[in-house]
């Protein structure tokens, strides 16, 4: 049996196809992950990604019956079974903090996204969770402009959910180098504004050192200025929940893994304070 920790995000640890438990740094407790991208496919390739054999593509069709059965069974194990004991969770971590739609790729790339979210909400509702948990969608935001995705976001909003929207850079050079994203910043910013207009949205930003690319990543002064300028424009048009600023916690499984490293406490706190000066809440994880 594998003990759960912030360093163990093994998608197979509980033996399910779609469901996996995680001790989340940002949530501060048990996160029930739901993985639509069982084929390890994503439309981005972030250099810090821990997904093995990552490939370019979309999520496969979801077996809704299997997803419902796995989620219902797992919730019963957590709420009424021996899950916490088997996985040796500390007493203070024995609470469901969130149900996170995330996984091994971009979750909003799944077909019938809204229908799948509706199913999850239905199954979770039947479990009668007493804890004050949160629904979370962890997304790179690239498909937020799609009607089906926006309908899914509305369902999350109706159930007091949140969007954690990835944005690691405000320059095209760094976005290509770090995320291998073909989406330009204007579209990404528009999607961010759309996301917040539908559902409470946090920015989720990874700060890292990238050897040989001194002007890439938020340790660069130019990168920080571009990011702050982008934030100023965004908060003039909408009210973000805040920024989740973090660095590397687990080894990357991408070819660039030897070139990237976590930032120092001083680096991340200095940048967090610059963001806070704009009037935004910043949660730091290092």
Domain ranges of the chain: 19-285
> Does residue 1 register a pLDDT over 60?
no
- Nearest 5°: CA angle at 67, between 99 and 122? 60
Say which residue the tokens 């250099």 belong to.
47
pLDDT digits (tens, 9 = 90+) for 169-217: 999 999 999 999 988 999 999 999 999 999 999 999 999 999 888 777 8
With the C-alpha atoms ordered 166, 286, 37, 53, is the resulting torsion angle positive or negative?
positive
The single residue listed with the structure tokens 């730091």 is 284
pLDDT of res. 90: 85
The runs of H, that is alpha helices, within the chain are 64-80, 83-86, 113-127, 147-158, 172-179, 185-198, 221-237, 265-276
* Architecture of the structural domain at 19-285: Alpha-Beta Barrel (3.20)
Cα 33-240-248 angle, rounded to 5 deg? 50
pTM value is 0.93
- Report residue 3's pLDDT band, with 50, 70 and 90 as the boundaries: low
How confident is the model over 12-30, as a mean pLDDT? 79
The string of pLDDT tens digits covering residues 67-106 is: 999 999 999 999 999 999 998 888 888 899 999 999 899 9
- The length of the chain in residues reads 286
Look at residue 240 and tell me whether its pLDDT is greater than 70.
Answer: yes
Give the residue with greater pLDDT, 270 vs 92: 270
Please give the mean pLDDT across all residues of the chain: 92
* pLDDT score of 12: 57
Predicted local confidence at residue 267, as pLDDT: 95
């Amino acid at each position: 049996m594998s003990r759960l920790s912030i360093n163990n995000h093994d998608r197979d640890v509980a033996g399910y196809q779609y469901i996996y438990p995680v001790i989340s740094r940002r949530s501060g407790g048990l996160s029930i992950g739901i993985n639509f991208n069982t084929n390890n496919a994503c439309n981005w390739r972030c250099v810090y990604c821990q997904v093995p054999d990552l490939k370019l593509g979309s999520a496969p069709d979801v077996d809704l019956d299997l997803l419902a059965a796995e989620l219902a069974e797992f919730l019963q194990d957590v709420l009424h079974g021996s899950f916490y004991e088997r996985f040796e969770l500390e007493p203070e971590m024995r609470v469901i903090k969130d149900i996170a739609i995330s996984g091994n790729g971009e979750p909003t790339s799944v077909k019938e996204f809204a229908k799948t979210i509706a199913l999850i909400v239905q199954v979770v509702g039947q479990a009668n969770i007493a804890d004050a948990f949160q629904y979370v969608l962890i997304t790179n935001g690239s498909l937020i402009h799609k009607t089906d995705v926006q309908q899914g976001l509305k369902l999350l909003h109706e159930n007091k959910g949140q969007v954690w929207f990835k944005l690691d850079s405000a320059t095209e050079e760094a976005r290509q180098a770090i995320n291998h994203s073909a989406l330009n910043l204007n579209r990404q910013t528009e999607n961010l504004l759309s996301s917040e207009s539908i559902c409470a949205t946090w920015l989720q930003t990874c700060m890292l050192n990238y050897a040989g690319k001194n002007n890439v990543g938020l340790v660069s002064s130019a990168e920080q200025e571009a990011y702050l300028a982008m934030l100023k424009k965004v908060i003039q048009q909408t009210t973000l929940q805040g920024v989740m600023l973090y660095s590397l916690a687990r080894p990357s499984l991408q070819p660039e893994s030897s070139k990237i490293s976590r930032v120092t406490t001083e680096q991340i706190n200095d940048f967090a304070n610059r963001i806070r000066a704009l009037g935004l809440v910043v949660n730091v994880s290092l």
